[in-house]
Amino acid sequence: MGERTEALDAAEKRRIAKQFIEALPFAHSLKMEVQDIGEGVAVIAMPWSDDLVGDPRTGVIHGGAVSALMDTCGGAAVMTHPEAPAGTATIDLRIDYMRPAAPGQLIVTRAECFHVTRSVGFVRASAWDEDEERPVATAAGAFTIERPKEATT
């Protein structure tokens, strides 16, 4: 019984990443929806909800919900990168909040895995509401690359 060593094809990686995200209870609770995925890029949206409001006076969504969206999207971008196997976990994620998201609006994040080493995938991401010219937040992150174990025979 030989271990599978060939890389997953792009369509299979997209399927695995999308299925993984849709199966995450946290992503499901935040109503995240994959809009586009593949070749090291992911776009995921999250609708505004009363349950996600961080400041009841203004109706602004909590930064933690935006952070979760950006983290999930960054991981998906790594999972679909041509040089990375499908498994990943967050090592580091720096988020710069640029402005509050407008209450009631969908938030969309686009993440791109722009560089891969043997064990780390590097990601840049942006999140925005209906005003796509002014990001709500930007992020830079590092994610693990889980490579198949070498056969020991």
User: Which residues, 6+ apart, have CB-to-CB distance to 9 below 8 Å?
Assistant: none
For residue 2, name the pLDDT band (cuts at 50, 70, 90).
very low
pTM: 0.85
pLDDT the model gives residue 15: 75
* CATH number of the 3-151 domain: 3.10.129.10
**Beta strand extents in 30-106 (DSSP E only):** 33-38, 41-46, 53-55, 60-61, 90-97
Residue 87: strand pairing partners: 146
Cβ distance 103 to 59 under 8 Å?
yes
Q: What is the pLDDT of residues 35-54, one digit of tens each?
A: 998 889 999 999 999 999 99
Nearest CA to 37 out of 21, 16, 18 is that of 18
Cβ distance 45 to 114 under 8 Å?
no
pLDDT the model gives residue 3: 38
* All structural domains of the chain with their residue ranges: 3-151
Mean pLDDT, residues 62-89:
91
Q: What is the pLDDT of residues 102-111, one digit of tens each?
A: 999 999 999 9
Whether residue 84 is predicted with pLDDT greater than 80 in this model: the reply is no
